[in-house]
Amino acid sequence: MTELATTPQAKALHRQFVEDVMSMPGGEKIRICQQCGTCTGSCPTSYLMDYGPREIIAAFRAGMIDRVVKSNTIWLCTSCYSCTVRCPANIKITELMYELKRLAIKYDLTPKDSKSPAMTKYFLDSVRKHGRNHEVELMAKYMLTKDWSLPFKFMGTGLKLFLAGRLPLAAKDIRGRDEIGRISAYLEAEEAKAR
């Protein structure tokens, strides 16, 4: 039993997580996971994970949510879908990973040293601002806030890309860019109503 699983808050969190995952189309299929390991075996980044996708499903079923969100697993998923197409129980593992990422962000349970959540946030900011993802802005923001070594690592490549015209500095705003923000506002309001 972990600390998260024993406190009332933890139990409530687990219930919430389960409810959210079960409401995904096909989410209930994690109940029939045979723990065969095909997903972890197929995953190109599982060797880097604290717990492979198979263990994440086992931990989830056992209520060990802390393992699920505190581990680096879900943030190392590249959504390549190899697991999903091979899973003999037809579990949409990639979608589960997305859902767990969303839940981790929602409940502010991301691991301190993971950089992916930040990348994600900047991506969203860029899209909300311009309507499209401005790659230069995204990379610049990320590098400057999360990884100072990157500008040095990519100096050579970056220069070549810039000279090839593949890194436009100016962002192209779409006319309807405010719609993106309004869509989000609408959905947030609906979610608040439901709660």
Partner 1 sequence: MAEDKIAVYFCHCGTNIAGKVDVEKVTAWAAEQPNVVVAREYKYMCSDPGQDLIKDDIKNLGVNRVVVAACSPTMHEPTFRKAAADGGLNPYLLQMANVREHCSWVTEDRDDATAKAKRILNAQIHRMPFNESLEPIEVPVNPAVMVVGGGIAGIEAALKLAQSGKKVYLVEKNPSIGGHMAMFDKTFPTLDCAACILTPKMSAAGKHPNIEMLAYSEVTQVDGYVGNFKVKVNKKARFVNTDTCTGCGLCLEACVVRKVPNEFDVGLSKRSAVYIPFPQAVPLRATIDPEKCLTKKGKKCKQPCVAACGPGAIDFDQQDEILELEVGAIIMATGFQLWDPAQDARYGYGRLDNVITSLEFERISNASGPTGGHIVCKNGEAPKSVAILHCVGSRDQNYQEHCSRVCCMYSLKFAHLIKEHLPETEVYELYIDMRSYGKGYEEFYRRLMDEGVHMVRGRAAEVTDVALSPEEEGRLVVKTEDTLLRIVRRIPADMVILSSGLAPASDAKSVAQTFGFGCSANGFYLERHPKLEPVSTVTDGIFIAGCCQYPKDIPDTVAQAGAAAAGALALVDNPTVKVEPTISYIDPEKCSGCHICVSLCPHVAIQYNEEKGVAEVISAACKGCGVCVAACGSNVPQQRGYLDDQIFAEIEGAMAV
Partner 2 sequence: MRYLYYPGCSGEATGKAYDMSTRAMMEKLGVELAELDDWNCCGATSYFNTRELDSFAIAGRNLAIAQKQGDEDLCVTCNACYTALEKANHYMAESPRIREAVNGALGSVGRSYDGSKHVRHIMDVLINDIGLDAVKEKVVRPLTGLKVACYYGCQYSRPWGIFDDVEFPVTMDHLFQALGAETVDYAAKMKCCGGMMMLTKEEGALRMCHELLYCAEREDADVVVCACPMCEMNVEGYQPRVNKAFGTSFNIPVMYFTQLVGLALGASSKELGIDKQIVSCDRVVAAISA
Which spans of this chain sit near partner 1 (rule: CB under 8 A)?
34-43, 46-47, 51-52, 54-55, 86, 88-90
Please select the residue that binds partner 2; options are 14, 29, 101, 141, rule is CB under 8 A.
101
Separation of alpha carbons 22 and 48, rounded Å: 27
Could you give the CA distance from residue 175 to residue 132 in angstroms, rounded to a whole number? Answer: 11
Q: Which is nearer to partner 1, 77 or 127 (CB)?
A: 77
E strand or H helix that includes residue 68: helix 65-70
Least distance to partner 1, CB of residue 101, Å? 22
151 in contact with partner 2 (CB under 8 A): no
Residue closer to partner 2 by CB (options 32, 189) is 189
Interface with partner 2 in residues 19-78 (CB under 8 A): 23, 25, 44-45, 48, 75-76, 78
Q: Are 42 and 82 in contact (CB under 8 A)?
A: yes
Report the amino acid identity of residue 128. Answer: R
* Only segment of 2-10, 29-37, 55-63, 119-127 that touches partner 2 (CB under 8 A): 119-127
Which listed option, partner 2, partner 1, none, makes contact with residue 63 (CB within 5 to 8 Å by class)?
none
HSE at residue 47, side-chain half, CA atoms within 13 A, is: 2
Closer by beta carbon to partner 2, 21 or else 33: 21
Nearest-5° angle of CA 172, CA 132, CA 98? 165
Residue with Cβ nearer partner 2 (41 or 117): 117
Q: What is the largest CA-CA distance in the chain?
A: 57
For partner 2, the binding residues (CB under 8 A) are 23, 25, 44-45, 48, 75-76, 78-82, 84-86, 92, 94, 98-99, 101-102, 105, 114-117, 119-121, 123-124, 127, 131-136, 139, 142-143, 147, 150, 153-154, 156-157, 160-161, 164-168, 172, 174-177, 179-180, 182-184, 186-187, 190
